[in-house]
Amino acid sequence: MPAAPLPEPAPATEACPGCGAVLAPVDGDVAAHPGASPSCTRLFDVTLRGPREEASADAGAVATARLADAAYDAQHPVAAEPARLSAALAQLGTALGAAAPTRPSGPPSAWTTTIADVAADLDVIDLDVLVDSWARAVFADWAAAGAPERDTDRLGNDAPSTFGG
Ligand SMILES: [Zn+2]
């Protein structure tokens, strides 16, 4: 193995194992959310700092923070904690007025929106609006990944009134 002419540089970015967000690594020890990279966890914490600080006086901020927590949990599932994912999906479903996917076959292979997208748009769009659309996207990604095969679509007999007898 030839000697490398240059020292190996520190990686400029790291991809979150949960949501796939590519971010600059953070310095120091950061307690990462399960299933997330430290940099993704840090970005989430920083982005939601406002509503968390306002939570004692603002019910809207409480709702935004809770919805964001559920979206983040759902986007960073860990096999060892299925209850966390189930609770997150149930909470998203309740908040968004939809039935949670009951038996998702696995996490979505790609995500429509991540906390990095939320943070990127924060200058021009209110956080509560961004969190709402992010949560809907996470929920929709899960629903698409977990949708059961619809065998009835494959029967080839699409007459609408076949059960008249
Ligand atoms: Zn992430």
CB atoms within 10 A of CB 158: 8
Query: What's the pLDDT at 27?
Result: 83
Distance between Cα 151 and ligand 1 center (Å): 34
* 40 neighbors 83 (Cβ within 8 angstroms): no
Distance from the CA of 109 to the center of ligand 1, in angstroms? Answer: 13
CA 21 / ligand 1 centre spacing (Å) = 6
Q: What is the pLDDT of residue 99?
A: 80
15 — phi, psi (to 5°)? -95, 135
Question: Residue 57 has which token pair?
Answer: 């006086």
* Closest C-alpha to 131, from 147, 148, 113, 146: 113
Ligand 1 center to 134 CA (angstroms): 13
Question: Could you give the 3-state DSSP secondary structure of residue 22?
Answer: strand
Contact 68, 58 (CB under 8 A): no
In whole angstroms, give the CA distance from residue 105 to residue 6: 45
What pLDDT, on a 0 to 100 scale, did the predictor assign at position 33?
94
Could you count the other beta carbons within 10 Å of the beta carbon of residue 96? 17
Output the six-digit token pair for 89: 């999906």
Spatial neighbors of 150 by CB under 8 A, at least 6 apart, are none
User: What's the pLDDT at 55?
Assistant: 84
| Residue 160: predicted pLDDT | 46
Element at 15 (helix H, strand E) = strand 14-15
Closest CA to 107 of 162, 53, 35: 35
pLDDT along the chain (165 residues), means of 10: 64 92 88 94 96 90 96 94 91 88 77 97 96 96 68 42 43
The Å distance, Cα 157 to ligand 1 centre, comes to: 44
